[in-house]
């Protein structure tokens, strides 16, 4: 996990975003809904020059990477 001081230094609104997530967490029912609402609210503030990293490795039940 990243050092919290580095994350805060790179993203000045980190505390506000954490509060937003906490609010969403307390007001919604499912994890999917919480994340969808958080991403909807954060999308306009994300820097466009930073690529979004995703995990593209998918494993099936046999353990073989697809």
Provide DSSP, 35-66. Answer: HHHHHHHHGGGS-TTSPPP-----B-TTS-B-
Boundaries of every domain in the chain: 18-42
> pLDDT tens across 10-44, in order?
566 777 777 787 777 666 566 777 787 888 888 77
Coil, helix or strand at residue 5: helix
Residue 1: which pLDDT band, with cuts at 50, 70 and 90? very low
The model carries a pTM of: 0.26
Considering only residues 59 and 25, tell me which one the structure prediction assigns the higher pLDDT: 25
Contact 65, 59 (CB under 8 A): yes
Q: Which residues contact 20 (CB under 8 A, 6 or more apart)?
A: 38, 41, 42
């Amino acid at each position: 996990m990243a050092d919290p001081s580095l994350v805060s230094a790179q993203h000045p609104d980190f505390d506000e975003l954490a509060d937003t997530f906490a609010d969403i967490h307390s007001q919604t029912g499912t994890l999917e809904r919480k994340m969808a609402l958080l991403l909807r609210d954060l999308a306009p503030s994300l820097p466009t020059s930073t690529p979004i990293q995703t995990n593209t490795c998918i494993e099936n039940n046999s353990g073989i990477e697809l």
